[in-house]
Amino acid sequence: MLRLIGLKRSKGKLESAEFNEAYYLASQRQLVWRKFRRHRLAMSSLLVIIFLYSLAIFAEFFTINDYQKRHVKYAKAPPQALHFIDEAGNFHLVPFIYQLKQELDMETLRRNYTEDTSERFHLRFFVKGLPYKLLGILDTDIHLLGVDAPGVYFPFGTDELGRDLYSRTIVGARISLSIGFISVVISFCFGCLIGGISGYFGGKVDVVAQRVIEFIVSIPQLPLWMALSAALPPQWSSIQDYLAISTVLAVLSWPPLARAVRGKLLELREADFVMAARISNMGDYEIIVKHLLPSFASFLIVVLSLSVPGMILAETALSFLQIGIRPPAVSWGVLLQDAQNIRALSQSPWLLIPGLYVIVTVLSFNFLGDGLRDAADPYKQ
């Protein structure tokens, strides 16, 4: 018995030694990933972000109706509920919906919708619908969900023109999510480049760069956005407006990152590994790109992840104020324009559903950034 206990203890010590050896011999990337996986909230947020971007990329596949089509008979229709039990009390394995019936209140002239239990339509998967190009390449007409004609299904209800809010929210994710990513990438490149040059060379270059940054930071953003929006030619297409708004957001958001990169380079430019690179006749550009920036890459990744929600909120705010993306283009900010009217909102509270997507996206990016920040220093317990 004592011999068996001794064997177990020796085996445990051996496994512990192997774990410690694997831990301290692991690369920085492996250590960061190992610690990041333990952050359950960050991992869950990463899955949510992947799901949202999948919706945006394959938006046409996930839509149920044409997001631009007006269903006049169902203007301001509430979200339709899925049923498993019919009016006779019978259980159905496949969910179904009842067709909506519109009634006009002659006193308030308000449309009231009730379910017509005489018409029942089962929910179908991989149904044929409006033709589209998947990823802009493959011609298809297959959609994830749908109901058989003449039934119509509005999971999030409709707007005042009778357009399917669910389909418009899914399509709007494409602009709202991509504009944040594109703006952050442009801002990230500007910030790293200017901050790296300013911090590495110092002197007059640093003085000029810092004065430029201070000038940009001192400009009130909202009036500047309004001025730039007014300067956009009205004949521009939605794609041109999209690119212009992305550029504006990127140009105004790089100074904080440039200052952070400058501070890091001022701290590291006299380090031993930088001096060794200079002695080996390595150029200044290579030293900055191959040695200095990678030395605090984890910090840059955290800044990048935390900057995306700020860009999404900025686009949503601009479009909500009607100085950003313009209809007929669809984004979450454009959809929230219908919620500006208190009367319309009191009658149709489901118009705020795109705002819930904004909240979930911003929270997910913030939680992801927290997880990356904790994992950036894998040896810290």
Cis peptide before 294 (omega within 30 of 0): no
126: left (phi over 0), alpha (psi -120 to 50) or beta: left
pLDDT tens, position by position, 328-337: 778 888 888 8
Mean local confidence (pLDDT), 121-144: 84
Q: In what order do the strands lie in the sheet with 110-134?
A: 83-85, 91-105, 110-134, 138-147
Q: By the 8 A CB rule, do 116 and 138 touch?
A: no
Q: At 108, is the secondary structure helix, strand, or coil?
A: coil
The helix (run of H) or strand (run of E) holding residue 119 is strand 110-134
Mean local confidence (pLDDT), 357-379: 79
The CA distance from 220 to 207, in Å, is 22
Top pLDDT among 364 and 20 is at 364
Top pLDDT among 10 and 266 is at 266
> What's the predicted TM-score (pTM) here?
0.79
Q: What is the pLDDT, as a whole number, of residue 316?
A: 79
Mean local confidence (pLDDT), 53-66: 89
Cis peptide before 150 (omega within 30 of 0): yes
The CA distance from 121 to 217, in Å, is 57
The CA distance from 165 to 70, in Å, is 11
The CA distance from 277 to 171, in Å, is 49
Nearest to 296 by CA among 335, 277, 327, 269: 269
Biggest alpha carbon distance in the chain?
Answer: 91
Q: What is the pLDDT, as a whole number, of residue 259?
A: 85
Q: At 48, is the secondary structure helix, strand, or coil?
A: helix
pLDDT tens, position by position, 109-122: 677 888 878 778 88
Q: What is the pLDDT, as a whole number, of residue 47?
A: 92
Using the Cα atoms of residue 84, residue 86, residue 88 and residue 92 in order, give the sign of their dihedral.
negative
pLDDT tens, position by position, 308-322: 887 777 777 777 777
Range in 40-44, 47-51, 174-178, 218-222 the model is least confident about: 218-222
In a 13 Å sphere around the CA of 2, the CA atoms on its Cβ side amount to 0
Could you say which DSSP state residue 80 is in?
P
The secondary structure of 199-244 as a DSSP string is: HHH-HHHHHHHHHHHHHHHHS-HHHHHHHHHHHS-TT--HHHHHHH
Q: Which amino acid is present at 267?
A: E
The CA distance from 177 to 194, in Å, is 26
Top pLDDT among 7 and 268 is at 268
115 forms bridges with which residues in the sheet?
100
Nearest to 376 by CA among 35, 21, 47: 35
Could you say which DSSP state residue 135 is in?
T
pLDDT band at 21 (very low <50, low <70, confident <90, very high): low
The secondary structure of 245-307 as a DSSP string is: HHHHHHHHHSHHHHHHHHHHHHHHTTSHHHHHHHHTT--HHHHIIIIIHHHTHHHHHHHHHHH
Could you say which DSSP state residue 289 is in?
I
Length of the chain (residues): 381
Mean local confidence (pLDDT), 97-107: 78
pLDDT tens, position by position, 197-210: 888 787 888 888 88
The CA distance from 315 to 178, in Å, is 11
**Matching residue, tokens 């440039």:** 258
Burial 54-83 (b: 16+ CB within 10 A, else e): ebbbebbbbbbbbbeeebeebbbbbebeeb
